[in-house]
Structure 1
Amino acid sequence: MVEEIKENWTHVLINGQSKTLEVKDAEFDKGKLVSLSDIRPFNKKDSEGKEIIPTVELANKEKRKAYNEFFQKPFKNLIILTGAGSSMDVKGLSMAQLWDEAVKEFKTEEVDGLSNIIEAVKFPKEKTDKKDIEALLSQVEGFIKFSEDKDIVFKDGKKKLSELKDLLFKLIQLKCTIPTPPNDAFPHKVLLEKILQRKQTSPRIKVFTLNYDLLFEDAATAVNAIVIDGFSYTFPRTFSGRYFDYDIVQREGSKLKEEDNFVQRVFHLHKLHGSINWERIEETGNVVINEKPKKALMVYPREAKYEDSYEQPFFEMMARFQRNLRLNNDTLLVCIGYSFNDKHINAAIEEALNQNPGFRLAIIDPGFDNPNTSKSLKTIKEYAFKTERILMVSETFTNFANYFPEIKTYENTQQVTINLKNE
């Protein structure tokens, strides 16, 4: 019996049944396609009948041509959602890399601090092998709450489990502090420069990020843009949701007609999981911006992050995310480097896909066709074959920013029902 050899094809773009692009025997390096043996669909002969050899350059050209058509005209409402994958392009760390940093920070020649924590809270080996720092922090919190805040042998003597949890939080805060990259390696800046060229009369761009770093703030400074971030313009800068309803207009000497002249290069920034420079003042409960907070106000990676999301200021940010996805007049959500592992974010996107016929979704992720992606991302992939309302592109954030086109408008297409099953 001859064993059937399965061909190894990988999708690099999906946008409905007729708009897909696959590469055969593909190899990737840090999300970039570096080799292949074939492309489909692909016209293997030129206009003169000569054979064309499939190459990486041709695959990228076809892929970028396809997503340029998708983004060719501007949507009335443009929303950007970024996850950890966007920061990794500029030396941000993945969850597994944060685990590795914790191993190094907690280890000496005599003591392996992280291993002692793992053993004390009976953390499963399979999750240890996966370097699942979110699951570990969840188990530590659960152990403290339901068992005991026991002493753990650490590198400088015994410490309470709760103290070590706080040290892990501080380590995450420190490692998520990313220096501003040079202009020639700063995709946040490149993307902002393009999307902020929209007409002043168009609704402001809404950027939502799950990252704690200051890369969008730094990019705004680099392109001379103004950020409306929910904080006051008095000092200390204090959070209130009403500041998202403010805008900036030029009034004196600027009006030919009796209407406001909106200032260019203004966008809204919502940090759904907090920021390394946010701090809650204990005495008043106010949230302020502080460049060197004692304890940064962040939704740390663990199961309790969903409970945190219902506290202010996170609840305000999430409510505005949902509200913007419900705008039924040409709304595009572009997800960049988001793994679709957050249940509350997925629920809002699912509702928009199912209930808002004017909603479109674009997913930029170099690993979207990887079999190890989340169940929700796999579900979206299934529906992306059925509707042109969903675009999935295998592209790094840096390359996407570089090849992102000028935007115009495009037509409504068919409606599908989607059900994202959270893990």
Structure 2
Amino acid sequence: MTLALNASNLVLLTGAGSSFCARNPKDDAKQAPGMRDLWDAVVVAATQAPIDAIAAKVPNTKAIAEAKNIEKFLTHCKMYLELFGADKANEVSDFITLAEKTIAARVDFVSEVTDLAAHQAIIRKIARRGIRKPRVRIFTTNYNLCFEYAAQGLRFTVIDGFSHSIPQVYDRSHFVHDIVRRDGGKDSPDYIENVFHLHKLHGSIDWRRKESELLRSRDDRDGTPALIYPRDSKYQEAFESPYLDMMSAFQTAIREPDTALIVSGFGFNDDHISKPIMAAVEANMTLRIVVCDMAFLASTELGKSRPHPFCRKPCTRERESVFCQT
């Protein structure tokens, strides 16, 4: 793990699993959702009757509904809508709209009171690098704002493709910008510390698409949410802007010489992400991959015997890593 952290290029990929490390107070009903939680939220919003009606109308969805698989259910609904059009499938179209709105609201669980100790631990560990090395790149499939709030609490700076003007507008050229300190009469750039790049592969709850622009906003009056919702068409949707920019950056990053890719909370189920990783493994002989537990441990806790929320017994092993790998 030490060799990975010292690589010239350091990349972190996180998926839905890493969100379970973010905890709200116990009296807060909103916690990080799993796929089953998203299904339950949609059922509450839509009620069971419309779902049963769609399951009876759309082929092969009855068993999917019984399995409470929201991703597969939305996939079949979307295919049915594409085949018959919104005019002949109003009920399905309305359900998709309501389901997407419900999912966006359910994943919006992070606030100032959320415990983001795990995310802060990994940011502190990997984003404090020598200024001679490239900035760390974090890629996540999550819509939530865990990394943004964690960085804010640590006073780290996030470069995420958005401008620093108001309103904040996305432009992929912003990813090649950096932040320097101009103090006194120095001629050479003095790069500031504690900066990392954040790429959100499936969009973010604070992205709104307004005509040809992508804005940072959480107000639906500023445009429509820019998210890749859970369904099998994620592969095709990921190759539209701005997701194409994020995927291109990911593929480029893992093909750079002397690169370490840390994967946490990602199940390798998304082909548009896992296949580029496998291709990079074959093409980049200097690529190192570390697949670890979704629960990040602070460096001060390493080697201690302590119960862990995702372990069935106390962790007693000495660990080089900042992660729990049980």
TM-score (ref. length: structure 2): 0.83
In structure 1, the residue matched to 2:147 is 216
CA distance, structure 1, for counterparts of residue 142 and residue 108 of structure 2: 10
Structure 2 residue corresponding to 1:351, chosen from 268, 279, 282: 279
Deviations 1:160-179 (A, max 9, x none): 32121110000110001012
In structure 2, the residue matched to 1:92 is 32
CA distance, structure 2, for counterparts of residue 148 and residue 171 of structure 1: 22
The residue identity in structure 1 corresponding to 2:71 is E
In structure 2, the residue matched to 1:230 is 161
Contact 2:121 2:297 in 1 (8 A): no
The residue identity in structure 2 corresponding to 1:193 is R
CA distance, structure 2, for counterparts of residue 246 and residue 181 of structure 1: 28
Q: Is structure 2 residue 326 aligned with structure 1 residue 397?
A: no
The residue identity in structure 2 corresponding to 1:75 is A
Question: Which piece of structure 1 moves more, 332-341 or 396-405?
Answer: 396-405
The residue identity in structure 1 corresponding to 2:49 is D
SS at 2:183 equivalent: coil
In structure 2, the residue matched to 1:305 is 234
Contact 2:14 2:263 in 1 (8 A): yes
Q: Is structure 2 residue 193 aligned with structure 1 residue 264?
A: yes
CA distance, structure 2, for counterparts of residue 86 and residue 215 of structure 1: 9
Deviations 1:3-23 (A, max 9, x none): xxxxxxxxxxxxxxxxxxxxx
CA distance, structure 1, for counterparts of residue 196 and residue 171 of structure 2: 17
Structure 2 residue corresponding to 1:334, chosen from 235, 255, 262: 262
Q: Looking at CA atoms only, which structure, 1 or 2, has the larger radius of gyration?
A: 1
Gaps spanning 5+ residues in structure 1: where?
1-67, 153-158, 365-394, 408-423
In structure 2, the residue matched to 1:291 is 218
Contact 2:112 2:149 in 1 (8 A): no
CA change 1:134–1:279 in 2 (3 A) is same
Structure 1 residue corresponding to 2:57, chosen from 112, 115, 120: 120
How far the C-alpha of 1:272 sits from its partner, in A, is 0.7
For 1:316-327, what aligned pairs fall within 5 Å after superposition? 316-327=245-256
For 1:114-263, what aligned pairs fall within 5 Å after superposition? 114-147=51-84, 149=86, 160-180=91-111, 182=113, 185-253=116-184, 255=186, 258-263=187-192
TM-score (ref. length: structure 1): 0.65
Structure 1 residue corresponding to 2:44, chosen from 89, 104, 111: 104
CA distance, structure 1, for counterparts of residue 214 and residue 43 of structure 2: 32
Contact 1:151 1:161 in 2 (8 A): no
CA distance, structure 1, for counterparts of residue 56 and residue 298 of structure 2: 43
Gaps spanning 5+ residues in structure 2: where?
23-30, 303-318
Contact 1:212 1:298 in 2 (8 A): yes
Contact 1:276 1:296 in 2 (8 A): yes
Q: Of Structure 1 and Structure 2, which has the larger fraction of its residues in helix?
A: 2
CA RMSD, Structure 1 to Structure 2 (Å) = 2.4
The residue identity in structure 2 corresponding to 1:117 is I
Deviations 1:13-35 (A, max 9, x none): xxxxxxxxxxxxxxxxxxxxxxx
Contact 2:179 2:191 in 1 (8 A): yes
Contact 1:208 1:321 in 2 (8 A): yes
CA distance, structure 2, for counterparts of residue 217 and residue 228 of structure 1: 10
**Identical aligned pairs, as a percentage?**
32
Contact 2:201 2:247 in 1 (8 A): yes
The residue identity in structure 2 corresponding to 1:260 is P
Contact 2:45 2:98 in 1 (8 A): no
SS at 1:338 equivalent: coil
Deviations 1:368-404 (A, max 9, x none): xxxxxxxxxxxxxxxxxxxxxxxxxxx3424488648
The residue identity in structure 1 corresponding to 2:32 is G
